[in-house]
Structure 1
Amino acid sequence: MLEVRGLEAGYGEVAVLRGIDLDLAKGEIVALLGANGAGKSTLNNNLSGLYRPQAGSICFLGQDIAGTNPDRIVEAGLIQVPEGRRVFPNLSVRENLELGSYRRARASRAANIERVYAIFPRLKERASQLAGTLSGGEQQMLAIGRGLMAEPELLILDEPSLGLSPLLVEEMFSLIQQLNRDGLSILLVEQNVVQSLAIAHRAFVLEHGVIALSGPAAELMNDAGLKASYLGI
C-alpha cells in the first residue's frame, strides 16, 4: 500500500531524512517510533505532500506521490491526523467533521458523520459545541473523527497520545486497535514506545534521520538496544 524508498528530505540546506526505506501493507498498523527531533514530522509532511522530497520515492497504491499536491494525496485516500489536533476552535464539532469530507467522500458525508458519532458518542453529545471549548481528549477524538470523514485508505496518526492523561492514552490506543480490526490501515507515529509496539504489527525506529531498527513489533519489544535507548532498561 505504501512504499518509501531512499527518501531524503529537509529544509533548505538542512538535511533531516537521510535515505528512509519504509513500507506498510493493507490492513496493518505500522508504528514509526522516535524521539523529538528524529525526523518523524518531516517524514509525515513529505508523505502528505506538504513538502517536496529532495530524493527518493513515495509510492501509494501503486502511484508515485512524492511532491504531489496535498489535495491530490487526500483525494487518493492518504489522510493525516496532525500532531496537536489542529481543530478549528471557532467552528462547532459538526462543522469540523464536515470539513473532513471537503476533498473526499463528500457524497457520504451524512452517513460518515453518524459513523463517527457511533465511534465517539461524546462528539454527538457535543455536536453544536465550539471545538475550542472541548477537553484535550475530546479534541483528539474530533481530529481522528475528522480524518475518518474522508474514508481513508491509509490514516497517519501523528502523536495521538500527546498531552492525554494515562487513562485517555489507554482508551486512545484501544480505539486505534479497534479501527484497525475494522479494516483501516494505520501509520502510527509516536513517542510512546511500549503501547505502540503492543498494538502494531511492525515498527520502524527513526533516529537522527535514519531507520535504526525495524521489524515485527513483538520482536522489537524485546530488542536490547531499543530497551536501552527508549525504556532505560
Structure 2
Amino acid sequence: MLEVSGLRAGYDGVEVLRGLDLRVEAGEIVAVLGANGVGKTTLNKALSGVLRPLGGEIRFDGARIDRAGAAAIVAAGLIHVPEGRRIFPDLSVRDNLLLGSYRRGRARRDVNLAHIYEIFPRLHERARQRAGTLSGGEQQMLAIGRGMMAEPRLLILDEPSLGLSPLLVEEMFALIRRLNAEGLAILLVEQNVVQTLEIAGRAYILENGSCALSGPAAVLRNDPELKRTYLGL
C-alpha cells in the first residue's frame, strides 16, 4: 500500500532523513520508533505532503505521491493524525469531526459520524462542547475521530499516547487494535516502544535519519540491541 524508497528530507538544506526505506502492506500495523530528533515527524510531514522531499520516492497504491500536494494525498486516502492533536479549540466537537470530511468522505458524512460516536461515546456526549475544553485524552480521541471521518485507507498516527495517563494509554492502544481489526492499515509513529511492539506486526527503528533496525515486531521486542539502546536494559 505504501512504499518509501531512499527518502531524503529536511529543512533549509539540512537533511534529517537520509535515504529511508519503508513499506506498509494493506491491513497491517507498522510501527516507526525512535527518540526525539531522529526524523519521525519529518517522515510524517513528507508522507502527508506538508514537506517536499529532497530525494527518493513515495508510492501509495503504486502511484508516486512525493511531488503531490497535501490535498491530493488526503483525497487518495492517506490520512495523517498529527502529534499534538491540532484540533480547533473554539469549534464544537461535532464541527471538528465534520471538518475531517472536507476533502474526502463527504458523501457518507452522517454514516461516518455515527460510526465515530459509536467508537467514542464520550465524543457523542460532548458533541456540542467546545473542543478546547476537553481533557487531553478526549482531544486525542477527537483528533483520531476527525481523521477517521476522511475514510482513510492508511492512517498515520503520530505519537497518539503522548501526554496521556497510563490508563488512557492502555485505552488508546486498545482503540488502535480495534481500528486495525476493522481492516484499517496503520502507520504508528511512537516513542512508547514496549506497547507499540505488542500491537504492531512489523517495526522500523529510526536513528539519525535512517533505519537502524527493522523486522517483525515480535523479533525486535526480544532484540538485545533494541533493549540496550531504547529500553536501557
| TM-score, structure 1 as length reference | 0.99
List aligned pairs for 1:65-80, cutoff 5 A. Answer: 65-80=65-80
Amino acid at match of 2:108: S
Q: How many angstroms apart in 2 are the aligned matches of 1:13 and 1:73? A: 24
* Alignment-derived partner of residue 10 in structure 2: 10
List aligned pairs for 1:100-111, cutoff 5 A. Answer: 100-111=100-111
Gaps of 5+ in 2: none
Contact kept? 1:3, 1:23, Cα under 8 Å: yes
* Alignment-derived partner of residue 53 in structure 1: 53
Q: How many angstroms apart in 1 are the aligned matches of 2:105 and 2:26? A: 20
> What are the Cα deviations for residues 4-51 of structure 1, in whole angstroms up to 9, with x where unaligned?
000011112211000000000000000000100000000000000001
* Alignment-derived partner of residue 178 in structure 1: 178
* Alignment-derived partner of residue 146 in structure 1: 146
List aligned pairs for 1:30-179, cutoff 5 A. Answer: 30-179=30-179
> What are the Cα deviations for residues 154-176 of structure 1, in whole angstroms up to 9, with x where unaligned?
00000000000000000000100
Q: How many angstroms apart in 2 are the aligned matches of 1:119 and 1:215? A: 31
Q: How many angstroms apart in 2 are the aligned matches of 1:161 and 1:218? A: 21
Matched residue SS, 2:27: coil
* Shift in Å, 1:201: 0.2
CA RMSD of aligned residues (A): 0.4
Gaps of 5+ in 1: none
Amino acid at match of 1:83: E
Matched residue SS, 2:162: coil
Q: How many angstroms apart in 2 are the aligned matches of 1:118 and 1:41? A: 30
Q: How many angstroms apart in 2 are the aligned matches of 1:196 and 1:95? A: 31
* Shift in Å, 1:183: 0.5
* Shift in Å, 1:71: 0.2
Contact kept? 1:46, 1:67, Cα under 8 Å: no
Q: How many angstroms apart in 2 are the aligned matches of 1:220 and 1:67? A: 33
Matched residue SS, 1:86: coil
Q: How many angstroms apart in 2 are the aligned matches of 1:202 and 1:165? A: 26
* Alignment-derived partner of residue 231 in structure 1: 231
Q: How many angstroms apart in 2 are the aligned matches of 1:128 and 1:44? A: 31
Moved over 3 A (4+): none
Q: How many angstroms apart in 2 are the aligned matches of 1:123 and 1:187? A: 24
Q: How many angstroms apart in 2 are the aligned matches of 1:27 and 1:144? A: 18
Query: Is 1:193 aligned with 2:196?
Result: no
* Shift in Å, 1:67: 2.2
Q: How many angstroms apart in 1 are the aligned matches of 2:67 and 2:121? A: 38
> What are the Cα deviations for residues 192-223 of structure 1, in whole angstroms up to 9, with x where unaligned?
00000000000000001010000000000001
Q: How many angstroms apart in 2 are the aligned matches of 1:15 and 1:73? A: 23
* Shift in Å, 1:135: 0.1
Matched residue SS, 1:6: strand
